[in-house]
Amino acid sequence: MFITLLHNPVVKLCMLVFPQEMNTAHVRLTPSRQNLGAVTVCMRYFSDLTRPFTFFGLATPSYNNDFHIFKMPARDEINVDVRNIVLNFKGQDYQLNRWQSVCGTWDAASGLVQLWVDGKPSSMKFSTESNISGPMIIVLGQDQDSYGGSFDSGRSFVGMISDVHMWDYVLPPHHINNYRRKFTFPPGNVLNWNLIEFQIVDFNHLSTGCY
């Protein structure tokens, strides 16, 4: 079942709830951009998963992991992939059963990628200086092994997601810290949680709202 939710300025969307492991339920976003020379993605999550799962996945027809944030089997490891180039960040403070924030940044001008968990930065690593280009599909709740599909329940997200923003530039560190602390920050200019329009796939197994 498909349902498209449009922005309603009266109704505040607090969170997306993914209550069970499966290979169907997900949220799909289709940004109008078809070329990105830099990216910042920030989101909040709450989960008790100890297995691998995807936080955020952006795919194009050429690359299923064009910008991808992925929790690895090891508790303290998170990957950020750009144009299918995998970068592994160790020593990350992933916690169970508490709200945390995760942000990933990349800039084609330098090729550098950085991960932030609860406002704490990783080392910077080189990925690619090639722009992300092509029609984009963003999926929350599942891992895209192909463009918009080929989901595996063993890599699905179970828990809650909120406050998803995406920018077409590298957000400065003080704004990332403001995001973590829920202070004032510039809302995403590619995805803005407060103005977001998205499609829920398999609505019967995914819910929204405030609790």
Q: What would the pLDDT profile of 63-108 be if each residue is shown by its tens digit?
A: 999 999 999 999 999 999 999 999 999 999 999 999 999 999 999 9
In a domain, 5, yes or no: no
Amino acid at 183: F
Q: Round the average pLDDT of the chain to a whole number and report it.
A: 91
In a domain, 54, yes or no: yes
In a domain, 9, yes or no: no
Mean pLDDT of 167-181: 98
In a domain, 97, yes or no: yes
Long-range Cβ contact pairs of 152-155 (< 8 A, separation 24 or more) = 152/23, 153/21, 153/22, 153/23, 154/21, 154/51, 154/52, 155/51, 155/52, 155/53, 155/54
In a domain, 11, yes or no: no
The pTM (predicted TM-score) of the whole model is: 0.91
Instruction: Residue 192: give its domain's CATH number.
Output: 2.60.120.200
The total of structural domains in the chain comes to: 1
In a domain, 79, yes or no: yes
Q: Which residues form the domain of 151?
A: 30-203
Q: Which two tokens stand for residue 109?
A: 């001008």
Q: Is residue 141 over pLDDT 60?
A: yes
pLDDT in tens, 195-211: 888 888 876 667 776 65
